[in-house]
Amino acid sequence: MSAGQLPRWVDYGLIPVLNLVAAFLVSGLVVILIGESPIEAVQILLWGSLGFGEGIGFTLFYATNFIFTGLAVAVAFHAGLFNIGGEGQAYIGGLGVAWACLLLDHYVPWWVTMPLAVAGAALMGAAWAFIPAWLQATRGSHVVITTIMFNFIAASLMVYLLVNVMSEPGSMQPETRTFEDGGRLPFLNDMMPWVDFGTAPVNFSLILAILACIAVWLIIWRTRLGYEIRSFGANASAAVYAGIDPVRTIIITMLISGALAGMMAINEIMGSQHRLLIEFVTGYGFVGIAVALMGRAHPVGIVLAAILFGMLYQGGAELSFEIPAITRDMIVVIQGLVILFAGALEHMFRPFLIQAFAVGRGAAAQAG
């Protein structure tokens, strides 16, 4: 350890907080720019997302989406891969959910449909990640570019399917029919009578998301596969020299990542909308990048970051209701700033901190 290194708590605690503070300060400037009070905005945002049962319910509902897409990006990170195709994988994952629900909802209760819907979502999401993964592994074409392309191909494909193939006969809406009870996950509000989430659609998927976090933790840190993934991500050539098959590692990692992104559709489609419709992903896949970055690609961090973004989504909705001048686009701005400061400008404060700690250490050494 040279004098340039920082203690772990600074790396994992202080730097993310500083980045976040910087992002929020700039967001505050934007609020001032449009002539509103940032203090008032923060109050409404906090109250709207955490101040009452329904608000908390919505926060947790959005957080569920972010946990899935955040985990998806994080798993790929561990192998040094950048999956920005979560958007498309989640969208296509919706197909798997919808097929399971449309097929079974008349005949069986939800807990029979659910495993199939989860499998469908994971399979379709993984399938959509497979071609980019295979191209990266065998042809060396960059996974970032191919996953972007696949996001757009997914968007076109889904519009085509929903308009021409899957829409209800006689309906002009680009969406499937509404699922019956057998294709609906129970709301947490109904499962736990002692809490009051009001009309918030937070549902059983939250539990699935927590299970996914545990599964990811086990896979990445407690299995041979996870060791291979992390070794490959840390130093690909050393990993290959140690006998790790790069093609296999890349493809399996991307399949897991795609499956996790696809499972986001469970929450939206089976948990809340109860039908497959166009554009239900709307940015959750991209925000997953920010969630994974802020959560330092660790499940615990991802849950915390997902809740933060859930608060932004719900608080922002409340904010645009209370102060119409601050439209929901403000949330997109804040997300952009968080991605910028917590992601791209991650190391901006590092040199200052390293200097500060070096000075501190020097003083301590002299005193000692």
Partner 1 sequence: MFDTFILILDSTVRLSTPLLLACLAGLYSERAGVVDIGLEGKMLGAAFGAGAVGYLTGNAWAGLLAGIAVSIGLALIHGFASITNRGNQIVSGVAINFLAAGLTALLGQTWFRQGGRTPPLPEGGRFENIELPFAEAMRDVPLIGQIYSELLSGHNILVYIAFAAVPITWWVLFRTRFGLRLRAVGENPAAVDTAGISVIWLRYRAVIVCGMLCGVAGSYLSIAQSSGFITNMTAGKGFIALAALIFAKWQPLNAMLACLLFGFLDAVAIRLQGQELPGIGEVPVQFFQALPYILTVILLAGFIGKAIPPKAAGVPYTKERT
* Binding residues for partner 1 (CB under 8 A): 2, 4, 30, 33-35, 82, 84, 131, 135, 139, 141-142, 144-146, 148-150, 152-153, 156-157, 159-160, 164, 286, 289, 293, 325-327, 329-337, 339-340, 343-348
Q: Please say which residue, 136 or 272, places its beta carbon nearer to partner 1.
A: 136
Give CA–CA dist 96/262, Å, rounded: 9
Minimum Å distance from CB 41 to partner 1? 13
Give CA–CA dist 106/182, Å, rounded: 6
Helix (H, G, I), strand (E, B) or coil at 277: strand
Minimum Å distance from CB 237 to partner 1? 15
**Rounded to 5 degrees, what are φ and ψ at 327?**
-75, 175
Q: Please say which residue, 156 or 199, places its beta carbon nearer to partner 1.
A: 156
Minimum Å distance from CB 110 to partner 1? 32
Q: Please say which residue, 46 or 149, places its beta carbon nearer to partner 1.
A: 149
DSSP letters, 329-348, are HHHHHHHHHHIIIIIITTTT
Minimum Å distance from CB 166 to partner 1? 14
Give CA–CA dist 188/180, Å, rounded: 18
Q: Please say which residue, 34 or 214, places its beta carbon nearer to partner 1.
A: 34
Minimum Å distance from CB 361 to partner 1? 16
Minimum Å distance from CB 143 to partner 1? 10
Best CA proximity match to 129, nearest among 158, 104, 151: 151
Question: Could you give the C-alpha distances from 364 to 5, 8, 309, 356, in angstroms and in order?
Answer: 16, 19, 40, 12
CB 214 within 8 A of CB 299: yes
DSSP letters, 149-203, are HHHHHHHHHHHHIIIIISSPTT--SSB-PPP-GGG-PPBHHHH-TTS--TT---B
Q: Please say which residue, 52 or 321, places its beta carbon nearer to partner 1.
A: 321
Q: Please say which residue, 82 or 217, places its beta carbon nearer to partner 1.
A: 82
Minimum Å distance from CB 332 to partner 1? 3
Tell me which residue has tokens 């967001």. Answer: 27
Q: Please say which residue, 186 or 336, places its beta carbon nearer to partner 1.
A: 336
